[in-house]
Amino acid sequence: MGKLVLLACVCIWVLAWSSRAYAADAVPVSKEAQATLKRIQELLNVTFHSLGEKLPPMEKFEKIQQAARLLDEALDKLAGQLDEAAVKKLQAAEGQDIDTKLALLAWDRKQRPEVYKEIAAKYFHAPDNPLKRVPSPPEVDKAHATEKYRLAWEYFLLLPDEENFIQSAQVRSLQALAAIRKDASLVTLVRRYRITCQEGIKSPQVDTEQTHVMLCLSEFCNAHGLRALLECLDLSKKQQSKQGEKGWDVEGLIYAVLTDLEKRGTRKEWLKIIAAFLKDGLSADQRQLLEKAAREK
């Protein structure tokens, strides 16, 4: 009976996941809000590497800063286009698609600005030691790795990024979300990964960031987390295939997670999840990885 219940839950999740679209018209908001969501999606794709190699670094930074300002303006505009009735529907559907998430981020940021300012002040504008040659943000406080701050962390994770990801405060966003471990955050994490797989971005340019995102996803030891890992696997496979190069070993990382090579005590749980996981619709790479992980003794 337990296996049947688990299988039913996985089936329901897969159906929900497969219906996820990036079209704003899937979200229960006005046409004006849908147009704003479309603009926000465009701004999310502005990164140091997506701007190409020909543009001088200083011009890239200026464009990134401009995109961040425009993103905030668009989120403010979107928040003003939502009403409480729409927000209740969005809250009930959080995690089902990225547009629903973005609308909730816009609303939450308007309602609780002090939470966002608190995270920004500590991790984004105040390096732990300004005298360091390459300043880095302070470690995440346990008090900030809580549900109260979750949406704020997701907002900062999606902001147009810097060139050196490992030194950016967005790494702290991933660490915080891994500690909070709320399934509703998965759609944001996959969106961040998708940003790194845009046309023109080479795998070696973003392998560090992709690794950090995948490590964060690996903390979600359930069917939802597995689905997210497999989606990112396909994104990387397509990216590397277009470039004609192998790139970093995404498959190897996921295999290590599913077989618990680090001996964290998750192997039995992953085996149950893989056994109950609905395989219909999986790519050949995804299916082969699950079969290989299931065979590992």
- Distance between CA atoms of residues 257 and 226, nearest Å: 10
Residue 94 located in a structural domain: no
Q: Classify residue 258: in a domain, yes or no.
A: yes
Q: What's the whole-number average pLDDT of the chain?
A: 88
Segments in 19-149 forming alpha helices (H): 31-44, 57-80, 84-92, 98-111, 113-119
Asked if residue 234 is part of any domain, the answer here is yes
Max alpha carbon distance in the chain (Å)?
A: 61
pLDDT for residue 240: 92
Give the integer Cα–Cα distance in Å for 116 and 266: 34
Residue 267 lies in a domain: yes
Among residues 282, 260, 279, 284, which one has the least CA distance to residue 271?
Answer: 260
Question: pLDDT digit string (tens) for 181-200?
Answer: 999 999 999 999 999 999 98
Q: Does residue 96 form part of some domain?
A: no
pLDDT in tens, 117-165: 999 989 887 555 544 545 678 899 999 999 999 999 999 999 987 656 5
Question: What pLDDT is recorded for position 95?
Answer: 95
- Residue reference for tokens 């006005």: 30
Least confident range from 59-63, 158-162, 230-234, 274-278: namely: 158-162
Radius of gyration, CA atoms only, the chain: 19
Q: What does the pLDDT read at residue 137? A: 83
Burial class (CB in 10 A: 0-12, 13-18, 19+), 136: middle
Tell me how far CA of residue 176 lies from CA of 25, 123, 140, 186, in angstroms: 31, 11, 7, 13
Rounded Cα–Cα distance for residues 82 and 32 (Å): 10
- pLDDT band at residue 9 using 50, 70 and 90 as cut-offs: very low
Q: Determine what percent of the chain is predicted with pLDDT higher than 70.
A: 86
pTM score: 0.88
Using left for φ > 0, alpha for ψ between -120 and 50, and beta otherwise, residue 226 falls in alpha
Residue 262 lies in a domain: yes
DSSP code of 50? Answer: T
Q: Convert the pLDDT of each residue in 37-56 to its tens digit.
A: 999 999 999 988 888 878 88
Strand, helix or coil for residue 45: coil
For residue 143, which of 156, 131, 133, 152 has the smallest C-alpha distance? 152
Q: What is the pLDDT of residue 124?
A: 83
pLDDT for the residue 198? 93
How many residues make up the chain in this entry? Answer: 297
C-alpha span between 75 and 61 (Å, rounded):
21
At 10, the pLDDT band (50, 70, 90 cuts) reads very low
Domain count along the chain: 1
pLDDT of 169 higher than 90: no
Report yes or no on 185 lying in a domain. Answer: yes
Question: Which residue range(s) make up the domain with 195?
Answer: 181-297
pLDDT band at residue 25 under the 50/70/90 scheme: low
List pLDDT tens digits, range 195-239. 999 998 999 989 999 999 999 999 999 999 999 999 999 999 999
Span 83-100, mean pLDDT? 96
Residue 215 lies in a domain: yes
Give percent of the chain above pLDDT 90: 68
pLDDT at 55: 84
Q: CA-CA distance, 297 to 279, in Å (whole number)?
A: 21
* Token digits of residue 208: 């560090």
pLDDT at 283: 95
Q: Is the pLDDT of residue 71 over 90?
A: yes
